[in-house]
């Protein structure tokens, strides 16, 4: 093929390509506007149906009414302590109190007192135990001893330990703060766990101020279980009056505790007037009322004893406060974990250091009880100096 022929064929192919491109472009161009252009009717797009909303899978599961009943926890304060026999509690308290005059004769000056809570709404009854022979002004160290029980009261089985404290020179006051049993429905229903009950307890100091022989610079506080919980709150507060404190098998973490104990236990908390809810509903309240989250506020010496076989305040709860104190307050906290101490009562190790015969009111000692109390006495003697009579001038050296 000649060069001329190739050029002709190439030109022809180029023309064909240009024509095809033009035709494709005209096919894609939008229709012309104006009266002369033929308008094609436009069809409207059909609206798409909204996607079906996913149903909560929990609502698709058949409910077991019996399990639902077991898990139900009300929040209405009207259901706090349903079925409580208030008169029975009063009768039991009065019967125990009637034993004190004979028990204390010749060794302890005992009387029942009351004082106004700093909250201003209630009078708080309390047991006062003092040496018969009192020293002069500021002659005695004093302690507030705080009972346990979600709803409980000062127990007469604490008497042998009270007797030892008074013999060592202490004045002991034991308040039945709001929520305690044995004082009727109003006092019982006023329970405020981790709230106003702490103020009720600290307010006992106001009564101690009326006793000239009590040295306000030598005040301590000690509690067991719920009382240990109140003790922790007291020494974690700003401006408290205590030189030292001891918390034995204390409640420490309500967020954790209520989850572990279940609905029956949760009921007593969720129905309190100043709570009215469970931890997932009122987390701020439960955090504020859990001593574990206030460890950094500790500024005075603190003794804590716990037991690994405690089935009330389980060790997995108490271990939290022990670890927190050891890691963050090692210079102030003295902690001791008793491994499976000799049991006492239904909660196994919970009362390991309160082993007392309820009839004779004599100690039923175990090695762990002896050790715990020896450590406790030494701890407070070091910080409160109960043997010193500061009403007298210091002896010349």
Nearest C-alpha neighbor of 287 from the set 318, 314, 256, 312:
256
Q: How confident is the model at residue 59 (pLDDT cuts 50, 70, 90)?
A: confident
Residue 256: count of CB within 10 angstroms of its CB:
17
For residue 321 the two structure tokens come to 């406060």
Query: Using an 8 Å Cβ cutoff, are 332 and 298 in contact?
Result: yes
Alpha-carbon distance of 245 to 147, in angstroms, equals 14
Whether 7 has a pLDDT exceeding 50, the answer reads no
pLDDT of residue 23: 43
Q: Where do the domains of the chain lie?
A: 68-384
pLDDT per residue over 305-332, tens digit each? 999 999 999 999 999 999 999 999 999 9
Maximum C-alpha span of the chain: 145
pLDDT per residue over 195-229, tens digit each? 999 999 999 999 999 999 999 999 999 999 999 99
pLDDT of residue 41: 53
43-48, Cβ contacts within 8 angstroms, sequence gap of 24 or more: none
pLDDT of residue 341: 98
pLDDT per residue over 158-208, tens digit each? 999 999 999 999 999 999 999 999 999 999 999 999 999 999 999 999 999
- 155 — phi, psi (to 5°)? -95, 140
Q: How confident is the model at residue 299 (pLDDT cuts 50, 70, 90)?
A: very high
Q: How much is the pTM?
A: 0.86
- If you average pLDDT over residues 258-270, what whole number do you get? 97
pLDDT of residue 30: 47
Evaluate whether the domain defined by 68-384 bears CATH number 3.40.50.1820. yes
Alpha-carbon distance of 369 to 276, in angstroms, equals 38
- If you average pLDDT over residues 118-138, what whole number do you get? 98
Alpha-carbon distance of 53 to 378, in angstroms, equals 68
């Amino acid at each position: 093929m000649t060069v001329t022929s190739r050029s002709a064929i190439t030109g022809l192919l180029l023309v064909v390509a240009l024509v095809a491109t033009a035709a494709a472009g005209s096919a894609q161009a939008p229709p012309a506007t104006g009266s002369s252009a033929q308008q094609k009717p436009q069809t409207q797009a059909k609206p798409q149906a909204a996607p079906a909303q996913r149903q909560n899978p929990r609502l698709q599961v058949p409910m077991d009414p019996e399990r639902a009943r077991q898990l139900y926890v009300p929040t209405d304060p009207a259901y706090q302590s349903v079925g409580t026999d208030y008169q029975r509690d009063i009768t039991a308290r009065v019967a125990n109190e009637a034993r004190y005059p004979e028990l204390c004769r010749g060794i302890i000056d005992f009387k029942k007192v009351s004082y106004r809570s700093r909250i201003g709404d209630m009078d708080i009854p309390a047991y006062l135990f003092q040496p018969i022979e009192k020293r002069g002004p500021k002659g005695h160290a004093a302690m507030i001893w705080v009972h346990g029980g979600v709803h409980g009261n000062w127990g007469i089985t604490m008497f042998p330990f009270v007797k030892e404290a008074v013999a060592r020179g202490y004045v002991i006051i034991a308040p039945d703060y709001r929520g305690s049993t044995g004082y009727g429905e109003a006092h019982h229903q006023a329970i405020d766990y981790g709230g106003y009950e702490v103020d009720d307890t600290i307010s006992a100091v106001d009564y101690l101020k009326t006793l000239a022989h009590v040295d306000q610079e030598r005040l301590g506080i000690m509690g067991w279980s719920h009382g240990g919980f109140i003790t922790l709150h007291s020494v974690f507060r700003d401006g408290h009056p205590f030189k030292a404190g001891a918390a034995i098998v204390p409640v420490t973490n309500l967020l954790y505790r209520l989850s572990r104990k279940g609905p029956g236990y949760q009921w007593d908390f969720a129905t309190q007037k100043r709570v009215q809810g469970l931890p997932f509903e009122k987390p701020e309240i439960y955090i504020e009322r859990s001593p574990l989250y206030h460890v950094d506020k500790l500024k005075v010496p603190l003794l804590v004893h716990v037991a690994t076989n405690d089935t009330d305040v389980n060790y997995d709860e108490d271990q939290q406060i022990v670890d927190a104190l050891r890691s963050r307050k090692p210079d102030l906290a003295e902690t001791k974990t008793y491994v499976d101490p000799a049991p006492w009562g239904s909660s196994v190790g919970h009362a390991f250091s309160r082993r007392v015969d309820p009839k004779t009111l004599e100690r039923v000692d175990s090695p762990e009880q002896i050790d715990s109390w020896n450590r406790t006495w030494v701890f407070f003697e070091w910080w409160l100096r109960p043997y010193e009579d500061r009403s007298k001038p210091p002896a010349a050296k």
